[in-house]
Amino acid sequence: MDKKKIVFSGIQPTGNIHLGNYLGAVRNWVREQAEKVNYFCIVDLHSLTVPQDPDNLRFQTRSLAALYLACGIDPEVSTIFIQSHVTAHAEGCWLLNCITPLGWLQRMTQFKDKSAKQESVLTGLLDYPVLMAGDIIFYDADEVPVGEDQKQHVELARDIAQRFNALYETDFFVVPQPVISKVGARVMGLDDPTVKMSKSLSDKRGHAIRLLDEPDEIMYSFKRAVTDSGREIRFSDEPERAGVNNLLGIYQAITGKDKTAVEADFAGARGYGDLKVGVAELVIETLRPIQARYKELMDDAAELDRLLAHGAQQARAVSQPKVDEMKRIMGLVLPG
C-alpha cells in the first residue's frame, strides 16, 4: 500500500464559517479524513499579525476548534490543534527567518495589499508567510489545501524548503504542493447569487448561513433569498436564474441526489416560496446536530481542553523532533 499523503490545513480563528465552507470544504475533509494523514491547525499566531481583542481571540479560537470537532473532525483519526500550543512553530519560524531573504517576503501580494491599508505595519505581518511555511514543512506535508489567495504563500514554503535543502545539502524538508480545492459545491450568496458566499460578507444579514445561526435566522435568510420572476423549479445555467440554481445546488449538495431527483422533489411546489422553505428546513436539520455537539463542547470546557491537549501532543511529537534536527543541521548545540 502507498504511504498515505500528509495534508496540512491552517485555519485562522477569525470570521464565521458558513454553509459554503461546510459544503465546499469541511464536509469533504470529514468524509475523507481516513484516506490521508491530516493536520488541522487553528492558526492563532497568524491572527496576531493584525490587532486583535484578546478576549475575542480567545473565544474565537476555542469556538472554531469546537465547531470543527462538531462538524465531524475525529481527533482519533486526524490531528486537530491550536498552533500556539506547539512551540515548535514559533521556534522553527525563527530558524527559517534566518535563511529567508527579505525580498521574498516584500513581494508577497497579500503583504503588499494588507500593508497598504494600514498606517502601522507590524513585523509579524511581513513574517506571516515564514510562520506558515514552518507550519507546513515541520510536518513533512505533501499537500496544502488552500484557496487561490494563499497559493503564493505555499509556493514560498516550497522555496524556503528548497533553499534549506540546498544550503545544507540535504533532503530534510519535503517540498509541499498547494492543492486548490476543486469547486465541488460552490455556494453563492443568498442576497446576491452572482458572488460566492464569503466570510468577509458573512456579517451582512441575509448573505450567508453561518453554521451557528439559529433556525429562525436561517429561515429568514432563505425566505429573503434573491431569485427571479419565474416559477419553474429547475437547474439552469442562465445568469438570471442563478438564485434558484443556488438553492437547488445547496439542496443537492446536502442530499447527494442527482439533478433529476432534486427537481422531482420540488415537482409539487407552488413556487419559489416552497423551494426556499424546503431548502431552509433541510439546512436547519443538517446543522442541528452540529450545533448541538458544538454547544456540548463549549459547555464542557474540560472536554474541549482534553481534546485539544491530545491534538497538541500528537502535533508536538512530529514537529518538535523536526525542529530539533533542523537546529542541529544549522549548527546549534542541542541541550544534553
Burial of 83 (0-12, 13-18, 19+ CB in 10 A): buried
Q: Which stretch, 21-29, 37-45, 210-218, 270-278, contacts ligand AMP (CB under 6 A)? A: 21-29
Phi, psi dihedrals of residue 227, rounded to the nearest 5°? -125, -145
**199 touching ligand AMP, by CB under 6 A:** yes
In angstroms, rounded to a whole number, what is the distance separating the alpha carbons of residues 244 and 211?
21
| Of the candidate residues 70, 141, 197, 247, the single one contacting ligand AMP (CB under 6 A) | 197
Residue 186 binding: pick among ligand AMP, ligand TRP, none (C-beta 5-8 Å cut-off by kind): ligand AMP
| Cα dihedral across residues 267, 269, 270, 271: positive or negative | negative
**196 touching ligand AMP, by CB under 6 A:** yes
Residue 254 binding: pick among ligand AMP, ligand TRP, none (C-beta 5-8 Å cut-off by kind): none
C-alpha cell at 128: 506571516
Residue number with the smallest Cβ distance to ligand TRP:
10
| Of the candidate residues 13, 24, 92, 178, the single one contacting ligand AMP (CB under 6 A) | 24
**186 touching ligand AMP, by CB under 6 A:** yes
Residue 187 binding: pick among ligand AMP, ligand TRP, none (C-beta 5-8 Å cut-off by kind): ligand AMP
Q: Which stretch, 16-24, 87-95, 300-308, 316-324, contacts ligand AMP (CB under 6 A)? A: 16-24
Contact 93, 329 (CB under 8 A): no
The site that binds ligand AMP (CB under 6 A) totals a number of residues, namely: 13
**42 touching ligand AMP, by CB under 6 A:** no
Contact 22, 211 (CB under 8 A): yes
In angstroms, rounded to a whole number, what is the distance separating the alpha carbons of residues 304 and 63?
10
Strands 79-82 vs 37-42: parallel, antiparallel or unpaired: parallel
State which residue, 10 or 243, has the beta carbon closest to ligand TRP: 10
**25 touching ligand AMP, by CB under 6 A:** yes
DSSP letters for 26-64: IHHHHHTGGGSEEEEEE-HHHHTTS---HHHHHHHHHHH
Residue 276 binding: pick among ligand AMP, ligand TRP, none (C-beta 5-8 Å cut-off by kind): none
Considering only residues 138 through 177, tell me which ones interact with ligand AMP, judged by CB under 6 A: 147
Active site residue 112: no
Place of cell 486583535: 52
Active site residue 322: no
| Minimum separation from the CB atom of position 61 to ligand TRP (A) | 13
3-state secondary structure of 10: strand
Active site residue 223: no
| Minimum separation from the CB atom of position 83 to ligand AMP (A) | 16
The b/e string for 137-146 (b: 16+ C-beta within 10 A; e otherwise) is: bbbbbbbbbb
The C-alpha angle 171, 8, 75, rounded to 5 degrees, equals: 125
Binding site for ligand AMP (CB under 6 A): 20-21, 24-25, 147, 181, 185-187, 196-199
Task: Give the residue numbers annotated as catalytic, written as ranges.
Answer: 114, 196, 199
